[in-house]
């Protein structure tokens, strides 16, 4: 029987583990945290269907009860080695050693550190939060300003840490646009009296049901969309956030004072993704994510034989695509093992 | 506002500043409107801090105002600056410290351009040789004179005779810092604290006992805009930009403004008069304006220099309210006298702005 | 020319905080489809009045949404009410009705 | 490629300032000129990006390129590392080389700037000196400046100036040798030619209008404001 070692227990790693195990392959799933789920643990509701993110998480966790899966929680791979026969041995942080016939990297992404956009004042201005902070507020059902008031005017800022050479991220993080729309709707539902803006450059509604959700945000929820990238924010005496954008479709600068400003932080390759790439000698794209062997036919393959990738370690992806990508990786690995 | 967040940013932008032996380059605007500041700077460095500074009479303008008014081509300004480097090299100095922010920006821009385009540096070396027979080494360290004062702010604090504190109430004086655009907006890593939260002046205010005011339009340009001020017809732009800043800072009731760009210091002072005459608005307390100081003047006051020797009588906005708060003794009779004490009259009073 | 040789310039920025959104509230009540605009400019591209004058229907409805009503008062009468814009709009905004609603608001709120 | 585009692409400011633009508007959002003039740096960059020679020629003949104050606030922010302010410097240079600047009110002001700043540099060795800030040309400087101006010699002595005297110090007279070197630098690097070019195009324009270059034309370029700039 073949054994596969999966590094990373987010949605991609979990789904791939289940698919491989269902095909009769022995799976070791390594997760650095004490629970699986990765970034999904930080999410409240999913787009576009507004499903509770933790329901999906639970389902993925339940799948891991499969007898073919061995879970290694709270573990990090300290060393990965490959022998001449194409077998991998992975040393874990507790000193134990795993062996496998293939390696699947599912180390995912991290969200952009908003402090790096200094002019937005995250970590300095009191009422500037990230989309991740906002999900947390949703979970606690408490959308309040630093003074504890209900925010009357909220601005959602697109492209924070994405499409921005200044922070060395040329890529589009793809999910922020729809996240912004989703969060705007959730805010409106919790705070029906508040005025909500999205400041965007392009509305990239790439997934099924996304454009419809954008339309709904306008029609049903009266969310205001202004095409102009945030140039700078400043705090006034009342700790409100004064923002400066250009209303580019009118060609005039626009100033508005917000009670709460939400930064839609983009996605970057996680430290573990970068570390694994170094360790395994696989190539990184200019975006910092792992470069697949071929963007069409080999998106789960790397230049290294027996090393596969899945999920957001190779590019920003939504959950649907991540789960598909995990199944696709499972197919590739199964075929690889059968030909061995 | 979260101070620790700012401190983190400041940590990210610390630049190297030489300890001693500076070649000084004067500023067109500073020497015209703030000659006392240039004197005080040299005096503080030489006599209070024991540093070696060369005030070379042979240097000239960098032509920066002409360059940014688009009447001086880039090769010309580069060669003029190269001549300054040559004078510095010949005098045996390696650290250059321009007093003007636009000069500092231009020196930085030139060194960066040469780093990316060595062929341009070569061409400029040829031009300089052809025009003057001089050769140069590039400076080892380039710092604005406000960087130098920032570097030694604690040494100045140790010798301070006055603090930025209201002696009558014990309240910390509220200071607004205004950073010249060309200090760090073009090359954020060349400014202490970077472009968004520069610490070069706020650091001085804090070290000397004051409280720094951060207001929404802090980063906005004073409105000089070179051609936008130099040509009379365009001055509506210049004054409007400063007005935008005054309106934004007024609610914080600042006790003073400090600037590191000589142009900004002059404009923020003079425009308060213009706005008061045109619209009847004043921004300080009781009909006064908000005193605007250069960082040399601020350092000079803290160190106990005579306000009139520093040239504070050149300001249109009266500085006396600030001097009174700091408890600085001054002779009002001497304000407009000559060095010998001769009476040469006094300026007329503005209509609205109290002086 | 005054004594100074210049006047203090006025800002061109849209100040959303202070602008008057009353017309917007009125028009959105009468023509809710206005909310659906994605600012694509289809309406303006084929606009009869726009070919002959400075009239720009896309910008006009955007000005309304920002509370910049001065521009609307100056431009609105240039519309010929031909309704070509309705045919083009990919989001089904009833642009003609929007213009009529703006006109009605202005008539009822003459300064 | 047309002549204008060729000149632009050889210009170091243009080269450094222009990469590619996605029209996000961060430059315009904080631009002091966009705040007070009918000016949009984003549109400038978009226009040069389109690369239509005729359209750019029109731009070079318009008031538009003269609104920027070269504060370079745009450089700090652009997510594509463009600097609209540097693009403007390139456009202004070409506009002056080709004589297009005399077509617009704001462009013609280059003569005033050449007259005021260019000549000051070559006569005094500084861009600004106190005697050039004449109170009648600078009413906004206020009564204190007027008083200083009237008592210049006494006054600058009081504040440690060395007005028009030899040696070191603020406002000293720059020595003859240094002035010679400055002049030769202008000659060798094309600075003199550039100033002369501004003068000759302006002279042509003044003659066309039947005004005297140094009097009527200068004052007009210094003071004229049609008020059509917002």
Spell out the domain ranges in chain B.
Answer: 17-145, 157-334
* Residues 27-66 (D) with a CB less than 8 A from some CB of B: 30, 32-33, 35-37, 66
Q: Sorting pLDDT into bands at 50, 70 and 90, what band is A85? A: confident
Last residue within a domain, chosen from A237, A267, A297: A267
Task: Kindly determine whether residue B55 and residue D168, on different chains, have CB atoms separated by under 8 Å.
Answer: yes
D71 and D121 belong to one structural domain: no
Do A191 and A139 share a domain, yes or no? yes
Closest CB to B185: pick one of D75, D116, D159.
D75
Residue A340 scores a pLDDT above 90: no
Same domain membership, residue D113 and residue D93:
no
Nearest to A237 among B5, B8, B251 (CB): B251
Express each pLDDT in A277-330 by its tens digit.
999 999 999 999 999 999 999 999 999 999 999 999 999 999 999 999 999 999
Provide the pLDDT confidence category of residue A199 given band limits of 50, 70 and 90. very high
Mean pLDDT for all residues in chain C? 94
Using an 8 Å CB-CB cutoff, list chain B residues near D37: 237
Last residue of one domain, picked from the residues A220, A247, A267: A267
Tens digit of pLDDT for each residue in B165-210?
999 999 999 999 999 999 999 999 999 999 999 999 999 999 999 9
Name the residue in chain D with its Cα closest to that of C4.
D139
CA distance A258 to chain C (A): 9
Can you tell me the mean pLDDT for B1-20? Answer: 92
Q: Which domain holds residue A209?
A: 114-267
Contacts of A192 (CB under 8 A, 6+ apart): none
Task: Kindly state whether residue C43 falls inside one of the protein's structural domains.
Answer: yes
Nearest to B235 among C5, C10, C11 (CB): C5
User: Which residues of chain D have a CB within 8 Å of the CB of A251?
Assistant: 28, 40, 42-43
C6 chain-D contacts, CB cut-off 8 A: 225
Asked whether residue C91 is domain-assigned, the answer is yes
Number of domains in chain D: 2
Per-residue 3-state assignment (H helix, E strand, C coil) for B117-156: CHHHHHHHHHHHHHHHCCCCCCCCEECCHHHHHHHCHHHH
Portion of chain A with pLDDT greater than 90, in percent: 97
Nearest to D139 among C3, C10, C11 (CB): C3
pLDDT band at B250 (very low <50, low <70, confident <90, very high): very high
Contact list, A119 vs chain B (CB under 8 Å)? 196
Using CA atoms, how far residue A329 sits from A105, A269, A336, B83, B240, in Å, is 10, 19, 10, 65, 61
Tokens of A232: 């700078």
Number of domains in chain C: 1
Give the tens place of pLDDT for each residue, C27-80. Answer: 999 999 999 999 999 999 999 999 999 999 999 999 999 999 998 999 999 999
Helix or strand run (H / E) with residue A200: strand A195-200
* B287 in contact with chain A, both atoms CB, cutoff 8 A: no
Q: Does D112 touch chain B (CB under 8 A)?
A: yes
pLDDT digits (tens, 9 = 90+) for B272-306: 999 999 999 999 999 999 999 999 999 999 999 99
In this predicted model, what pLDDT tens digit does every residue of D171-201 receive, in sequence order?
Answer: 999 999 999 999 999 999 999 999 999 999 9
Q: Are residues A104 and A120 in the same domain?
A: no
Residue C9 resides in a domain = no
CB contact under 8 A, C11 and B240: yes
Nearest-CB residue to D24 (from A201, A253, A254):
A201
For the structural domain made of B157-334, what CATH number should be given? 3.40.50.11810
CB burial readout A118-138, b (16+ within 10 A) else e:
bbbbbbbbbbbbbbbbbbebb
ipTM: 0.95
Q: Do B234 and C6 touch (CB under 8 A)?
A: yes
Predicted pLDDT of residue D1: 75
Q: Answer for the pair D44, D77: CB distance below 8 angstroms, yes or no.
A: no
A100 and A120 belong to one structural domain? no
State the average pLDDT over residues A116-136: 97
- Is there a domain that residue C7 lies in? no
Q: Check C4 against B235: CB less than 8 A apart.
A: yes
The answer to whether D36 contacts chain C (CB < 8 Å) is: yes
Calculate the average pLDDT of chain B: 97
Same domain, D82 and D115: no
Residue D84 and residue D109 share a domain: no
Residue-wise pLDDT tens digits, D115-166: 999 999 999 999 999 999 999 999 999 999 999 999 999 999 999 999 999 9
CB pairs under 8 A between A and B: 40
> Does residue C2 surpass a pLDDT of 90?
no
Nearest CB neighbour to A251, from listed D27, D40, D79: D40
Residue contact A246–D43, C-beta within 8 A:
no
Which tokens is A64 given? 């891991």
Task: Identify whether the C-beta of residue A311 lies closer than 8 Å to the C-beta of residue A262.
Answer: no
Residues from chain B contacting residue C10 (CB–CB below 8 Å): 240
Do residue D185 and residue B68 have CB atoms under 8 angstroms apart?
no
Cβ of D22 within 8 Å of Cβ of A163? The answer is yes
Pick from A267, A289, A315: which residue ends a domain?
A267
CA of C82 vs chain D CAs: smallest distance (Å):
31
Per-residue pLDDT tens over the stretch B309-318: 999 999 999 9
Band (pLDDT 50/70/90 cuts) for residue A95 is: very high
User: If you write DSSP's letter for every residue of A39-71 in order, what string do you get?
Assistant: GGGG-SB-TTT--BHHHHHHHHHHHTTSTTEEE
For chain A, what is the domain count?
2
Q: Which of B223-227, C106-110, D180-184 has the lowest mean pLDDT?
A: C106-110
The CATH number that applies at residue D73 is 1.10.1060.10
A304 in the same domain as A176: no
Q: Which of D82, D98, D114 is the last residue of a domain?
A: D98
Of the candidates D35, D38, D139, which has its C-beta nearest C13's C-beta?
D35
Instruction: Give percent of chain B above pLDDT 90.
Output: 97
Contact criterion met (CB below 8 Å) for A16 and A68: no
Measured in angstroms, the CA of C7 and the nearest CA of chain B are apart by 5
pLDDT at C1: 57
CATH code: domain of residue C95: 1.10.1060.10
Q: Is C10 on the interface with B (CB under 8 A)?
A: yes
Confirm or reject contact between C21 and chain A (CB < 8 A). Answer: no
Q: What is the pLDDT of residue C111?
A: 59
Do D218 and D111 lie in one domain? The reply is yes
Cβ neighbours, 10 Å, residue D188: 19
> Is C102 inside any structural domain?
yes
> In which band, very low, low, confident or very high, does the pLDDT at A114 lie, cut at 50, 70 and 90?
very high
Segment among A83-87, B179-183, B222-226, D70-74 with least mean pLDDT: A83-87
Q: Are A249 and A132 in contact (CB under 8 A)?
A: no
When the candidates are 1.20.1050.140, 1.10.150.450, 3.30.470.20, 3.30.230.10, the CATH number that belongs to B17-145 is 1.20.1050.140
Measure in Å the smallest separation between the Cα of A173 and chain B Cα atoms: 25
Which chain C residues are closer than 8 Å to D34 by Cβ? Answer: 12
Domain range enclosing D184:
105-223
Looking at the fold, whether D36 and D121 belong to one and the same domain comes out as no
Which of D77, D98, D119 corresponds to the end of one domain? D98
pLDDT at C110: 78
Mean per-residue pLDDT for B79-90?
98
Report the C-alpha gap between A111 and A13 in whole angstroms. Answer: 18
């Amino acid at each position: 029987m073949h054994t596969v070692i999966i590094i990373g227990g987010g949605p991609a790693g979990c789904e791939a583990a289940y698919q491989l195990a269902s095909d009769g392959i022995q799976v070791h799933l390594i997760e650095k945290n004490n629970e699986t789920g990765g970034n999904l643990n930080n999410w409240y509701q999913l787009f576009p269907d507004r499903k509770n993110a933790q329901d999906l998480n639970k389902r993925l966790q339940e799948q891991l009860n499969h007898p073919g899966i061995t879970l290694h929680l709270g573990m990090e791979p300290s060393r990965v080695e490959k022998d001449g026969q194409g077998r991998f041995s992975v040393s874990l942080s507790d000193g134990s050693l795993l062996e496998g016939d293939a390696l699947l990297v599912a180390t995912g992404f991290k969200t952009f550190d908003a402090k790096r956009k200094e002019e937005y004042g995250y970590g300095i201005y009191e009422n500037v939060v990230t989309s991740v902070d906002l999900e947390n507020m949703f979970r606690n059902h408490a959308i309040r300003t630093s003074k504890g008031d209900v925010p009357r005017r909220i601005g959602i800022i697109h492209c924070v840490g994405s499409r921005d050479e200044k922070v060395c991220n040329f890529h589009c993080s793809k999910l922020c646009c729809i996240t912004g729309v989703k969060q705007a709707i959730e805010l409106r539902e919790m705070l029906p009296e508040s005025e909500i803006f999205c400041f965007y450059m392009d509305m990239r509604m790439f997934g099924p049901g996304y454009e419809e959700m954008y339309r709904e945000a306008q029609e049903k929820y009266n969310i205001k969309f202004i095409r102009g990238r945030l140039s700078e924010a400043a705090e006034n005496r009342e700790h409100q956030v004064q923002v400066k954008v250009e209303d580019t479709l009118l060609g005039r600068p626009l100033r508005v004072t917000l009670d709460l400003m939400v930064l839609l932080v983009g996605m970057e390759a996680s430290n573990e993704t970068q570390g694994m790439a170094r360790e395994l000698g696989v190539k990184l794209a200019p975006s910092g994510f792992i470069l697949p062997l071929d963007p069409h036919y080999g998106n789960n393959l790397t230049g290294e034989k027996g090393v596969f990738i899945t999920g957001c370690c190779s590019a920003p992806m939504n959950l649907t695509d991540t789960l598909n990508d995990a199944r696709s990786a499972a197919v590739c690995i199964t075929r690889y093992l059968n030909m061995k | 506002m979260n101070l620790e967040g700012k401190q983190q940013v400041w940590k990210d932008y610390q630049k190297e500043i030489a300890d001693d032996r500076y070649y000084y380059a004067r500023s067109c605007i500073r020497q015209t409107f703030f000659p006392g500041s240039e004197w005080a700077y040299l005096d503080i460095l030489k006599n209070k801090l024991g540093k070696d500074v060369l005030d070379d009479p042979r240097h000239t303008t960098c032509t920066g105002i002409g360059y940014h008014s688009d009447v001086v081509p880039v090769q010309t300004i580069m060669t003029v600056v190269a001549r300054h480097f040559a004078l510095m090299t010949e005098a045996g100095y390696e650290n250059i410290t321009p007093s003007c922010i636009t000069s500092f920006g231009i020196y930085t821009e030139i060194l960066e351009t040469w780093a990316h385009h060595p062929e341009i540096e070569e061409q400029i070396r040829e031009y300089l040789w052809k025009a003057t027979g001089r050769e140069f080494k590039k400076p080892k360290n380039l710092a604005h004179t406000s960087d130098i004062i920032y570097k030694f702010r604690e040494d100045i604090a140790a010798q301070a005779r006055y603090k930025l504190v209201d002696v009558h109430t014990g309240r910390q004086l509220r200071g607004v810092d205004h950073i010249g655009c060309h200090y760090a907006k073009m090359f954020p890593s060349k400014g202490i604290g970077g472009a968004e939260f520069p610490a070069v002046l706020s650091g001085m205010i804090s070290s000397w006992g004051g409280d720094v005011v951060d207001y929404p339009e802090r980063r906005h340009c004073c409105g000089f805009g070179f051609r936008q001020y130099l040509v009379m017809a365009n001055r509506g732009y210049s004054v409007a930009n400063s007005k935008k800043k005054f309106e934004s800072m007024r609610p914080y009731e600042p006790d003073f403004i400090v600037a590191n760009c000589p142009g900004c210091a002059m404009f923020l002072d003079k425009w308060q008069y213009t706005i008061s005459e045109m619209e009847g608005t004043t921004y300080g307390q009781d009909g006064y304006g908000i005193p605007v100081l250069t960082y040399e003047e601020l350092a000079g006051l803290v160190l106990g220099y005579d306000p009139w020797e520093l040239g504070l009588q050149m300001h249109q906005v009266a500085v006396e309210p600030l001097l009174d708060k700091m408890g600085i003794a001054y002779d009002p009779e001497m304000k407009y006298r000559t060095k010998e004490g001769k009476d040469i009259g006094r300026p007329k009073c503005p209509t609205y702005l109290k002086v | 020319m005054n004594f100074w040789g210049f006047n203090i310039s006025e800002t061109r920025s849209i100040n959303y905080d202070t602008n008057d959104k009353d017309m917007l509230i009125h028009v959105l009540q009468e023509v809710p489809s206005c909310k659906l605009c994605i600012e694509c400019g289809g309406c303006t591209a084929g606009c009869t009045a726009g070919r002959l004058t400075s009239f720009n229907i896309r910008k006009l409805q955007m000005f309304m949404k920002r509370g910049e009503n001065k521009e609307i008062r100056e431009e609105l009468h240039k519309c010929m009410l031909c309704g070509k814009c309705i045919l083009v709009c990919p989001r089904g905004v009833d642009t003609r009705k929007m213009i009529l609603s703006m006109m009605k608001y202005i008539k009822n709120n003459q300064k | 490629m047309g002549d204008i585009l060729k000149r632009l692409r050889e210009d170091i400011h243009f080269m450094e300032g222009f990469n590619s633009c996605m029209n996000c508007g961060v430059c315009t959002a904080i631009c002091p000129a966009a705040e007070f003039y009918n000016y949009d740096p984003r549109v400038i960059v978009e226009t040069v990006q389109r690369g239509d020679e005729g359209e750019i020629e029109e731009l070079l003949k318009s008031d538009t390129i003269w609104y920027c104050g070269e504060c370079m606030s745009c450089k700090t922010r652009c997510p594509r590392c463009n600097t609209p302010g540097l693009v403007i410097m390139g456009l202004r240079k070409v506009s002056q080389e080709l004589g297009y600047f005399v077509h617009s009110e704001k462009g013609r002001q280059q003569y005033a700037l050449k007259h005021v700043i260019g000549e000051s540099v070559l006569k005094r060795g500084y861009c600004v000196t106190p005697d050039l800030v004449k109170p009648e040309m600078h009413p906004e400087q206020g009564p204190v400046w007027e008083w200083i101006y009237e008592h210049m010699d006494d006054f600058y002595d009081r504040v440690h100036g060395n007005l028009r005297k030899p040696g070191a110090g603020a406002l000293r007279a720059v020595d003859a040798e240094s002035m010679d070197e400055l002049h030769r630098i202008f000659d060798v690097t094309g600075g003199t030619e550039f100033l002369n070019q501004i003068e000759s195009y302006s002279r042509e324009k003044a003659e066309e209008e039947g005004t005297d270059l140094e009097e009527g034309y200068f004052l007009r370029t210094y003071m004229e404001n049609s008020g059509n700039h917002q």
